[in-house]
Amino acid sequence: YFVSPEQFKENTVELSGEDARHISKVMRGKNGDKLIVSDGISREALVAITAIESGVVTTVILEQLEMTHEPAVKVTVAQSLPKGDKMETVIQKCTEIGAVSFVPFISERTIVQYDAKKESKRLERWNKIAKEAAEQSHRNTVPVVSAPLSWKQLLPTFQNYDAVYFCYEKEEGFQLRDALRPFMQALPIDHAPGVLLLVGPEGGFSEEECRQAEEAGAVSVGLGRRILRCETAGMVALACILYESGEMG
Ligand code: SAM
């Protein structure tokens, strides 16, 4: 369970709200049951329940744990908004695999409409999915899903990353693998690199978008000879990056 740093006292941690409800009603928690709690920043502990009263679960810390479930390579998945609930699938699966954040965006061929004023509930839901997936896969931090950006807003953010990979099914010569090996080898040992992965919508990216992305510093890469669904491409590319960096497999 993720708690705020303030909930972490010297020897105890108190859980309230939805987490307390989940522990008492869904998990049927009782005194003595053990849980793992994390503040998502620097502290994680094995705790045991000592009381469940008036919607509050009180626990005592049994053991401080090391926060070892986070990948050294920090991958942000930028996904052009797909149709239906596919963004939820991307967030859930990529959180399990190890993405550190998500940036949905709107590109030329994005089919769905996103009205930020009307859809704050959707953003809330995406972040809740990230939290639940982080808990179930024992992540130490919860990836943040930001509000969707336009393509124009996304381009200047490329400079915040050590590498930006533009997944482009029309890229025949240069594959993600070709970009990763030299990138990983050139990294200083004490640096946790930030990587941005760009994935297009159902209709893909346009040639003009490819040109603009490259101009802004992205490297256009292929992911093999088969065309992947837009919700599959990010998962595959992310797994390849973490494999290549020694984090998976
Ligand atoms: N029409 C299918 C759909 O509805 O999902 C496939 C869409 S594919 C064009 C969507 C995005 O996935 C592309 O813009 C690209 O970012 C990524 N993608 C899929 N297959 C790829 C491949 N073989 N190499 C690189 N990127 C790929």
Q: Which of 77, 166, 167 to mutate to test the pocket of ligand 1 (most atoms within 8 A of CB)?
A: 167
Specify the residue with its C-alpha closest to ligand 1, atom 19.
228
Query: 102 pLDDT band (50/70/90 cuts)?
Result: very high
Q: What is the spatial distance between Cα 217 and Cα 159, in angstroms, rounded to a whole number? A: 7
Cβ count within 10 A of residue 25 = 9
Q: What is the spatial distance between Cα 38 and Cα 138, in angstroms, rounded to a whole number? A: 10
Q: What is the spatial distance between Cα 98 and Cα 41, in angstroms, rounded to a whole number? A: 16
Question: Is-contact 58 24, C-beta < 8 A?
Answer: no
Confidence (pLDDT) at 14: 94
Query: 117 pLDDT band (50/70/90 cuts)?
Result: confident
pLDDT in tens, 8-60: 888 999 999 999 999 999 999 999 999 999 887 778 899 999 999 989 999 99
Q: Which of 171, 174, 227 to mutate to test the pocket of ligand 1 (most atoms within 8 A of CB)?
A: 227
The whole-model pTM stands at 0.86
Confidence (pLDDT) at 42: 76
Distance 229 CA to ligand 1 centre (A): 5
Strand, helix or coil for residue 117: coil
Cβ count within 10 A of residue 237 = 24
Distance 1 CA to ligand 1 centre (A): 35
